[in-house]
Chain A
Amino acid sequence: MRTVLPMLTVLAALLTIWYVAVGPMNIRVALDQAERSAATVLPATSVERRATSVWRLMAQNSEHIAAGYALERPRLPTPTQVGQELWKTTGEMVLRGRAFSKRSLILHGWITLKSTLSGFILGTLLGILGAVAIVYSRVTRMSLMPWAIISQTIPIVALAPMIIVLSSQLGVEGRGLPKAIISAYLCYFPVLVGMVKGLQSPALAQLDLLRTYSASGLQSFLKLRLPASVPYLFTSLKIGIAAALVGTIVGELPTGAVSGLGARILIGDQFGTPLAIWAALFTAAILAGLLVTLLDLSQRLILRRMGMPS
């Protein structure tokens, strides 16, 4: 509870800055519109206005500032406009019983979520398997670990269009698989690193104790190393799912995608509808928040069931 009040203050400050910034950001567009509807504007033509600073424009045309807060295609929409657009493409669609229409962000969010989750599962499995191999085999550790680190410094987005073209030429239908591969690539590394740390976290004394019980390798893995790695796993999963969502959205960005939140952003850009971009961005943010919170809750629940401090 100690953090709630400060968080609200910071949020309120951010919103205020946003609201204030809308004025100078939109004044030029607002004046252009006012000029077209034959209102008096100073200076009169847009060429002259381009040479004038926004502050001068706002001072000289103070009666047109308000128009900048209600534009249909603003450079920077107000938070209220974004909220309205979000409601129009989600809640209102549900009320009208068309939750999965093509204009609904619920549909696009669902498509993005599906690829994110499949990429997340794939990446997590790869990460865990890689971690087990690295912990148990010195050859794998020596040959794989440096490349795993280097793989993360390579900007995957450079590869994203390649992966999409490659998979379509290999006859893979749709964009689900390539998107999942991209998100798996971004998500496996945090899991790998976290699991290597987690599997190695039992102390030597604990491993020795299991040896005095004459436990087999498999037993000491299942009863000691695996349970000990669970807290590490969850911490990495939270990073991994955020990375997987980024991967999916990047996979939807290169030209040609028609569905998914990334594609909504792209289409909004091509058709010059900034509100659509902002709504899609906020849906992605909400999705990321939900996924991370869900993992956080299950982490607390499972760790408590396992009797570990969470």
Chain B
Amino acid sequence: MMWVIIALVFWLAAWVINVALAQSRFHNTRLVRLAVPLLFGATLLVLWEGIVRGLNVSPVILPAPSAVAQTFANSTDILWADFTQTVLKGALSGYAIGCLSAFGAAIAIDRSAFLTRGLLPIGNFVAALPIVGIAPILVSWFGFDWQSKAAVVVVMVFFPMLVNTVQGLRETDQMQRDLMHTYAAGYLTTLTKLRLPAAMPFVFNGLKIAATLALIGAIVAEYFGSPTRGMGFRISTGVGSLSIDLVWAEIFVAALAGSGFYGAVALVERAVTFWHPSQRGRA
């Protein structure tokens, strides 16, 4: 019971500190804006640890965060092998292929207003479909190794990326295009100097959506067969063999990889679209 009480006391104290911080006149400083969510996250971890220890929850049901951290430290080599297999080989290569080909397709389609009109509603519809279900088909086409995982990711990221890029390319208004016309700028110059830069906020929106989809696709595809490594493989076998702490360590890696990936895209976005209102005044 001690542990539960300690956790609850910590929670109350953190809450009081957070309220005080948020109401104080420093609430807009960077330090406080960082400290408040960090304290909140720490509270969740302490609560989790306290409840697991205090109520003697079996590690088969829910291991304590400290146990997960220990497993994480002890099995870094397994986790690293899984990370390379799933994230670096499967998700990243699929992400690159899918986004690049969607980007190219969008530029090609954009030349025809007719095709654009037809493709946008269809692309929007396909982007809303549960495409993950295609994973078993692609695994049977491309085999168990990372190629099939990359293929699933390609299919998943293609349409969101396509729709966003096509929409972005339509962002410029007639006046701006007329201006380029008076400069005697050709199609290519207009594309590279005006329309692509204007499309960048949309492109990065698509890239960010695709970043989260890529990991989902790569992990789900591993449930349908994979070599004896990979995060999805480790999670599904770990659940079966009740090594739940390893599963949680794997989930932690997935969370790190997902946030890191998304964060990296967001950083590039900030550098590329520094002129956009949503990015101004943040640096």
| A contact residues vs B (CB 8 Å cutoff) | 2-3, 5-11, 14, 75, 138-139, 142-147, 150, 152-159, 161-162, 165-166, 169-170, 238-239, 242, 245-246, 249-250, 253-255, 261-262, 265-266, 268-269, 274, 277-278, 280-281, 284-285, 288-289, 292
Contacts and interface: CB of A to CB of B under 8 A. Distances in A.
A6 B112 CA distance: 11
Interface in B22-61: 22-23, 27, 32-33, 36-37, 39-41, 60-61
23 contacts: A3-B121, A6-B115, A142-B22, A142-B36, A143-B37, A144-B37, A150-B259, A153-B211, A153-B261, A153-B263, A158-B219, A162-B235, A242-B129, A250-B132, A254-B236, A265-B133, A269-B136, A269-B140, A284-B130, A284-B133, A285-B130, A288-B129, A292-B125
B235 A158 contact: yes
B255 interface: yes
B234 to A, nearest CB: 10
Contact of B132 (A146, A242, A246, A255): A246
Contacts of A255: 223, 236
Interface string B242-277: 001001101100110011011100000000000000
A155 B257 CA distance: 9
A192 B133 CA distance: 26
A283 to B, nearest CB: 10
A288 to B, nearest CB: 5
Given A277-B136, A284-B129, A139 B259 contact: no
Nearest to A270: B136
A11 B116 CA distance: 13
Interface string B123-136: 00100111011101
B136 A155 contact: no
A3 B231 CA distance: 43
Contacts of A157: 132, 216, 219-220, 232
B258 to A, nearest CB: 4
Contacts of A266: 136
Q: Is the interface of A mostly helix, strand, loop or mixed?
A: helix
A139 B19 contact: yes
B40 A144 contact: yes
Task: Name the interface size band of chain B.
Answer: 35 or more
Nearest to A261: B133
Contact of A158 (B61, B117, B129, B251): B251
Given A162-B251, A269-B140, A277-B136, A143 B118 contact: no
Contacts of A268: 136
A49 to B, nearest CB: 17
B226 to A, nearest CB: 13
A237 to B, nearest CB: 12
B58 to A, nearest CB: 8
Given A3-B121, A6-B117, A161-B236, A142 B18 contact: yes
B95 to A, nearest CB: 13
B258 A155 contact: yes
A288 B18 contact: no
Nearest to B58: A169
A254 B39 contact: no
B185 interface: no
A162 B247 contact: yes
Given A2-B117, A262-B133, A284-B130, A162 B140 contact: no
A139 B255 CA distance: 25
